[in-house]
Structure 1
């Protein structure tokens, strides 16, 4: 057996026998080289492999330490089929990876983590985000990036602050992100609407509003729309970017779920912006875990001063920012993104197969969504939507009414359920879809 393999095998054997405890420090590279009669580079290669497996973690200037054994699944079977939650599956949270990054962050940045820091965000993280965002065709300098405590904080700042075009109205899609709509209504901010369906939006109507509607900015989710789950096509994104330049309207592009889609041919509106009219927002909560509360905003140069003047300085915790910086640099983020994307893609496929099986009468119109976590189940007009939601809940199936995703005074509402697969386990999805269709049939025949 080669020395490299012997080191790995010996580690596994000692761990299985309980001779290596969580948190225990491994022999130094030099000590291990002497023990195994090999070169220092061989030991370093073996330790790097153990770290890649998350069997150990390293602390600069200190050494390598044994990782705690992986915990059992966080969720037990409580009989509930959750089509309502938008949070990531508890069982795919990268606890161990992020714990390692937190340890490294404390050791790397030390006392700098406990100061107020740069209000724009940790400089190291913003530099890392320059490269990270460039992979999605988001090209910007570090000075154009602001780190915020979640995307909601950034949206509120953008809604309140003045824009160079001197206009006041926020244009929103209907339906749209419910918490943002509620904020706009609560604050009494001027709002106009444009209808969006699974088929997209009317671009002629969008141009009319841009031309004559006193529109300050247009808030849109170009990819994995919440609640529809659908994404704009390339031509729609190009047209929106062109219209923004033509009529001096800013586009606030909420790409909160960018990492849960197939990146091939999946560029955001920002990639087609030639005029500096697109504000790009990205969240890290949906891909890692909600409690992280870190968002990134890429701002056109013309908006920088206004944004930072209006932005409340209660940004994301520096320790979380430092850990995320290390998490991305170490390649852990990309590995986790691929893992969770494949898992959710599989669940979406199971959902479509279940619809094909049970929706033979065509009672539901289901958006053809193949990635992300949301899709729309559009119901017949004669169905009492709230009654269906209530009856499903009594059967242990949770789903959200589409009514929640509209402004209060908006009247052209579609009747639908927002279905999320992020917390629905694969073996539950077919049963849940069957229950939805049974309750829709029941509502029609009442």
Structure 2
């Protein structure tokens, strides 16, 4: 990442966290240069960018001054603790950066954005995505990359279209992605589930299903599974790739949280695929903002033409304006700047969530269990004692302005459910996490004792 972009993040954090008031002067350029160990020109470039985003303003021969605006409320205790919301934190949405990219896209591409595009997507976006994917250890050709209107569209197309293996059934993890479950059940697509726990999946059971059932593809979230929060090991990913090749079953790998990976050695299943049986899906909604509705699908050659045809019939193309703005956002380095910011914030919240849950679970007397991860993430789950009703717990907490979400919609209708509660801290302030978990633990204890 460019030095001035990194510096922008640090200065922005300084403005938001320090007790600055509207109109208060920032330290001088010389002071900032000495403080951050970089040239004055780098400081000036970063300050100029912050001024364009209306976080500061310049006074000739005087210096730079703060515009706090709506961010002045950050850090205040929220009346509602929302451990249910899975959407990204609105406080880190790159509103101004992306507004700049939209304006730049209109200036650059002009009328090209206001006509139909191509089914595959904007060529310049596909080019930069292909190069970005190398950082995820996803090496592919441009002909295999499709821009889709979110991962949900890619999943619906894959579920509907025929596959070369001639098979019909979907296999999905339980619990799993609720919208895909809803899609499959609403359209009565043949589907079966396989249990996934924090400790992993039963590979003997998985292989038996691959061998004996008519499985078209297996849909999995190998990294930071939602709602469990766990990830497969590289050894497990390699085994999945081998089983797919052995039994001619495709793997649909939903790697929507790849950008949050801290372990540089944690490669996707796609990396280990030697038989072109892995379909790789990546979303930009969780890292930028949900309304972008741009995802990427890497489709093997044998499936590419059918996927193109089904996508053409579904929506002709994905939003050209969104594609062009995303292309500029990625190419300019703004994405790297935003990624550093949101990674840092989510990592801090994940550590606090992990520590609070571990502490409270240890003192719960078995009322709930929490399994710790080497790399804790922003969402996870707890396993409740059988005496504790998750439904009643959620209702009690709601009366105390603590929001949790039921796990029911993450299961197929006839699949046996675990007594678990999911927790997500993307929309909970850091200073509220520990007290929120303490109160959740206290209510669990009260419920278990009755």
TM-score by length of 2: 0.84
Indicate the residue corresponding to 1:227 in structure 2: 227
How far residue 308 of structure 1 moved from its aligned partner, in angstroms, is 1.2
How far residue 355 of structure 1 moved from its aligned partner, in angstroms, is 2.2
User: 2:419 matched to 1:423?
Assistant: no
What are the ranges of 5 or more consecutive residues in structure 1 without an aligned counterpart? 1-15, 19-41, 58-67
Distance in 1 separating the partners of 2:24 and 2:178:
53
Structure 1 residues 294, 344: CA separation in 2 closer, same or farther (over 3 Å shift)? same
Distance in 1 separating the partners of 2:332 and 2:227:
33
What are the ranges of 5 or more consecutive residues in structure 2 without an aligned counterpart? 1-22, 26-38, 54-65
Distance in 1 separating the partners of 2:212 and 2:394:
40
Indicate the residue corresponding to 1:161 in structure 2: 161
Indicate the residue corresponding to 2:389 in structure 1: 384
Q: 2:399 aligns with which of 387, 394, 400?
A: 394
Out of 325-334 and 216-225, give the one that drifted further: 325-334
- State the Cα deviation string for residues 394-426 of structure 1 (Å, max 9, x = none): 111111122221000112x21111100100111
Question: Is 2:154–2:297's contact at 8 Å kept on the other side of the alignment?
Answer: yes
Structure 1 residues 191, 331: CA separation in 2 closer, same or farther (over 3 Å shift)? same
Give 3-state SS (helix, strand or coil) of 1:140's partner: coil
Indicate the residue corresponding to 2:339 in structure 1: 337
Distance in 2 separating the partners of 1:110 and 1:343:
36
What is the count of residue pairs matched by the alignment? Answer: 398
Distance in 2 separating the partners of 1:128 and 1:50:
28
How far residue 109 of structure 1 moved from its aligned partner, in angstroms, is 0.7
- State the Cα deviation string for residues 279-299 of structure 1 (Å, max 9, x = none): 011110100111111111011
- State the Cα deviation string for residues 6-32 of structure 1 (Å, max 9, x = none): xxxxxxxxxx799xxxxxxxxxxxxxx
Tell me how large the CA RMSD over aligned residues is. 2.4
Distance in 2 separating the partners of 1:69 and 1:399:
35
Give 3-state SS (helix, strand or coil) of 1:229's partner: coil
Question: Is 1:257–1:372's contact at 8 Å kept on the other side of the alignment?
Answer: no
Indicate the residue corresponding to 2:208 in structure 1: 208
Indicate the residue corresponding to 1:443 in structure 2: 447
Distance in 2 separating the partners of 1:348 and 1:318:
35
Q: 2:380 aligns with which of 371, 375, 383?
A: 375
Distance in 1 separating the partners of 2:79 and 2:309:
49
Structure 1 residues 71, 286: CA separation in 2 closer, same or farther (over 3 Å shift)? farther
Question: Is 2:366–2:385's contact at 8 Å kept on the other side of the alignment?
Answer: no
User: 2:331 matched to 1:310?
Assistant: no
How far residue 315 of structure 1 moved from its aligned partner, in angstroms, is 4.0
Question: Is 2:252–2:278's contact at 8 Å kept on the other side of the alignment?
Answer: yes
Out of 183-192 and 399-408, give the one that drifted further: 399-408
How far residue 336 of structure 1 moved from its aligned partner, in angstroms, is 1.3
Question: Is 2:358–2:372's contact at 8 Å kept on the other side of the alignment?
Answer: no
Question: Superposed, which structure 2 residues align to 1:90-101 within 5 Å?
Answer: 90-101=90-101
User: 2:153 matched to 1:149?
Assistant: no
How far residue 443 of structure 1 moved from its aligned partner, in angstroms, is 1.3
How far residue 72 of structure 1 moved from its aligned partner, in angstroms, is 2.3
Question: Superposed, which structure 2 residues align to 1:30-41 within 5 Å?
Answer: none
Give 3-state SS (helix, strand or coil) of 1:135's partner: helix
How far residue 77 of structure 1 moved from its aligned partner, in angstroms, is 5.2
How far residue 362 of structure 1 moved from its aligned partner, in angstroms, is 3.9
- State the Cα deviation string for residues 155-207 of structure 1 (Å, max 9, x = none): 10011111000000000011001111011000000001111000010111111
- State the Cα deviation string for residues 414-441 of structure 1 (Å, max 9, x = none): 1111100100111111111112111111
Distance in 1 separating the partners of 2:42 and 2:356:
47
Which structure would you say has the larger Rg? Answer: 1
Q: Give structure 1 regions of 4+ aligned residues with deviation exceeding 6 angstroms.
A: 42-47
Structure 1 residues 382, 154: CA separation in 2 closer, same or farther (over 3 Å shift)? same
Question: Is 2:221–2:254's contact at 8 Å kept on the other side of the alignment?
Answer: yes
- State the Cα deviation string for residues 250-286 of structure 1 (Å, max 9, x = none): 0000111111221411211111111100001111010
Question: Superposed, which structure 2 residues align to 1:75-90 within 5 Å?
Answer: 78-90=78-90
Distance in 1 separating the partners of 2:318 and 2:429:
31
- State the Cα deviation string for residues 71-120 of structure 1 (Å, max 9, x = none): 42387755000100011111111111111111211111111010101111
Distance in 2 separating the partners of 1:152 and 1:356:
34
Give 3-state SS (helix, strand or coil) of 1:280's partner: strand
Distance in 2 separating the partners of 1:236 and 1:151:
23
- State the Cα deviation string for residues 130-171 of structure 1 (Å, max 9, x = none): 001111011111121111111111110011111000000000
Structure 1 residues 396, 176: CA separation in 2 closer, same or farther (over 3 Å shift)? same
How far residue 372 of structure 1 moved from its aligned partner, in angstroms, is 3.7
Indicate the residue corresponding to 2:70 in structure 1: 72
User: 2:405 matched to 1:407?
Assistant: no
